[in-house]
Amino acid sequence: MLITLETNKSLQEVRQKLEEVAKAKGFGVMAVHEVSNILQSKGVPIDYSCVIVEVCSPRHASQVLSVDPYFSTAMPCRIALFEKEGKTIISTISPSAMVNMFDKPEVSHIAEEVEKLMREIMEESIKA
């Protein structure tokens, strides 16, 4: 399941706000991938801007990794920003949906908490 929002704000404006809000909510910005620029430099461009921001909550990461190291395959959380039909789209895979793949119901409450925070980060990033 995807969590997806859209806005009339520019991609760069949303990206900057996203990084600020994520940090304010206790998430670290692990990496930013300028996907459209990378593809352009490799000679295989796409016709829209696309950026992926990787964020991680150290506290939550420690909790799930203490249960199962395979959770590291789904980390950090990735938030995609891209342009579509004149709008900026911000989207991520639901942490609750991701955790279901691991068949570890004892961490579902952690995934729900992370999902709530990710929604807040995304919503605050597109506010006017």
Rounded to two decimals, the pTM is: 0.94
In the predicted model, residues of the chain with pLDDT beneath 50 are none
Tokens of 50: 């696309």
- Distance (Å, rounded) from C-alpha 83 to C-alpha 114? 25
Give the length of the chain: 128
- Structural domains of the chain ordered from first start: 2-122 (3.30.310.70)
Q: How would you class 105 by CB atoms within 10 Å of its CB: exposed for 0-12, middle for 13-18, buried for 19 or more? A: exposed
| pLDDT tens digits, one per residue of 74-109 | 999 999 999 999 999 999 999 999 998 999 999 999
pLDDT at 66 (0 to 100): 97
pLDDT at 76 (0 to 100): 96
